Amino acid sequence: MTQECVFCAIADRRAEASVVHEDETAVVFMDLNPVTPGHLLVVPRRHAAGLEDLDRVTSAHIWSVGQDMARALRRSRLRAAGINVLVCDGEAAFQTVFHFHLHVIPRYPGDGWTLEAESSQRSRALLDEEARAVRDAIG
């Protein structure tokens, strides 16, 4: 049995959320499990599982609203010193709710949340090959 999408329910006001902003296309609400105080989610009203499922107009609107929310977090009483904007697209990218959402995460000195990855410089030949693979897939 398929469970109803919780973000669709929030967008339709059938589930509880602390809404910050809403319009015809998007809803912004507080993340129930924030990594820092003020952590927001920007969600399209129309269900889209991931980034690839969004039409360009909705995608542009979601990112624009995300920018507005970042500005608001910096100007708010929360006094964000920085902002991370994050998309987790797919299970391998840590997506847990399969309704596209843009995280707008306010950052504070010493807040303890980190993004750490082990990386090493790639050879130009490998980078060129990967660039070709992406170019070949652009449609």
Strand partners, 41: 29, 103
Among candidates 74, 39, 46, 44, which has minimal Cα distance to 61? 44
Q: What per-residue confidence (pLDDT) applies to 75?
A: 96
Q: 51-96, pLDDT tens digit by residue?
A: 999 999 999 999 999 999 999 999 999 999 999 999 999 999 999 9
pLDDT in tens, 16-29: 999 999 999 999 99
Say which CATH topology domain 6-111 has: HIT family, subunit A (3.30.428)
Domain boundaries along the sequence of the chain = 6-111
| 98 close to 82: Cβ distance less than 8 angstroms | no
